[in-house]
Amino acid sequence: MPSSELARLKALDASKYIPFDSVLQTLQEWQATVGVTPEWEGRITTHRVRRSRAMAVRDHLKLLAELDQGSTASSLLVPPTGVSETTIDALVQTQDAYLERRHAQTKHTKAADDHRSKYLLEWQERAKLHSERAPVDMLSGLWHSGLSWRDIARLLKVSVAAVQKWRSGEKMSSKNFAHLRDFVAAYDTIAAHKPGVDIASWIDIPILTDVPVTPRDIWVKGDPKLFFEYALGDMKPETVLDAFDPDWRRRYRDDGFEAFVGTDGVLGIRTKDR
């Protein structure tokens, strides 16, 4: 590397960038006072990027100093014979892209958490409204939506006979009423955000082909958060199954088992005939 270029790079001593730390700290202290706003987040992000660029140059200068003194940097397979301004710019751009990536991941996480809290709140609000309805009306509504009495019984984890008794006016326990109210509210919530989708059919469609796990199974297991995340979020099918049953790959994709549809139209799993 030409001595003039090395001298120019060394002139960019990292000590001149120390104020970035104090500026960032001051901005964060002010933010704690005024609260989080897009304006303050933007200012802090800008200074973080500037500080990162300065640190990237500093680290690269440290490496250059080691090479200039005859050190063999173990982190490099082939030590560079010269580093141009373009190379340093590329290094800084890589660091910038990394920061942007982390920022995007943070924003996605925050947005996902916010979305999750909103649809759970909506579900709870709908459940409050259905608390004032008669069980017979809610059962009738589910049946008219396309669910059979057997489907409804499975969703509520009771027998078909119990459902028939409630239809005839027999009093429900508070626990069973809550189960019915909560599912009707969940049905309404998904239908409101998925217009045109046949929820009665969707609830029995396998989450992943050849794996007999459906949205109904998630609901019956008692995991409404996962149920809604699959229905309204952006969670991948494999991730949903991992959350539902971490052992699903071995359990359902073992060569000794196969999925089948029973006489009642319900998916199941059984050993293969040898």
Whole-model pTM: value is 0.62
Note the pLDDT tens digit of each residue in 187-232.
Answer: 999 999 999 899 999 999 999 988 999 999 999 999 999 999 999 9
Give 222: exposed, middle or buried? Use CB within 10 Å, 0-12, 13-18, 19+: exposed
Greatest mean pLDDT among 12-16, 67-71, 91-95, 161-165: 161-165
Is the CB of residue 189 less than 8 Å from the CB of residue 126?
yes
CA atoms of 206 and 241, how far apart (whole Å): 11
- Residue 9's pLDDT is 44
Q: How confident is the model at residue 14 (pLDDT cuts 50, 70, 90)?
A: very low
Chain-centre distance for alpha carbon 112: 6
Q: Which residues contact 198 (CB under 8 A, 6 or more apart)?
A: 146
